[in-house]
Chain A
């Protein structure tokens, strides 16, 4: 797996770019901008569903979700660039592995929102939402907050210096 990821990075030129003078900090900055887009749209929408700023109609914030999707795509692209450039620093890293678990949780949670809650929320105006939808919003906020924390911790748990349960 490490060889495959490293080979992909070399083949596509990502490795060369990331190891250029400003490659890594530029991509890190874009990664954070993507995160802010996500948190500013999906995160604020979650907070609204939990009861903050009750005067804002849900659909006003839902219209901003495409910007959140753009942020997500920026993050996936830049994240792949980090991962493939230094795969051994990520694949065996407990903070990265935990981050991926929370991303999986956020993804499943998003699917459950669009499967079971979206229609209700779109027609709710500014009315309070039922507990099950608030639960989805709460899980989303927790998952994205954990993703931020784990992302920040990646650099402090670089293998082989830190032992972890599954490494």
Chain B
């Protein structure tokens, strides 16, 4: 998670803190590592979900986390595509910078909801229902 968020933070901060025309050469090369981290998030997330399915699936915070995580990953993919298409003198548009800022907010929401999952569950085991 820290790897994925970390790379997004680096790209977003670089996008948001520069106005120079030659902004982000090579930043798209960080994304293979980013998607490797995303695979780890998926595998560990599925394992945690399988371990305590009722705990997660009965908690609305879980759905908020998944929604913000998936949206943040879609935005990461869109930013990656824009970085790959850009040339060395590309000046990034306001929409790309808005996406970067939105992505940062979504990652913060993902982190908060992920942490709050451990404190907001009302059901631990599915056996409670039968």
Contacts and interface: CB of A to CB of B under 8 A. Distances in A.
B29 A63 contact: no
Interface in A35-60: 35-41, 43-44, 47, 52-57, 60
Nearest to A42: B6
A33 B5 CA distance: 9
Given A36-B5, A53-B29, A41 B10 contact: yes
Nearest to A53: B29
A105 interface: no
Contacts of A67: 9, 13
Contacts of A40: 5-10, 13
Interface residues of A, number: 31
Nearest to A55: B26
A81 to B, nearest CB: 14
Contacts of A112: none
A115 interface: no
B92 to A, nearest CB: 14
A43 B5 CA distance: 11
A29 B111 contact: yes
Nearest to B31: A53
Interface of A: 22, 24-26, 28-29, 32-33, 35-41, 43-44, 47, 52-57, 60-61, 63-64, 67, 126, 148
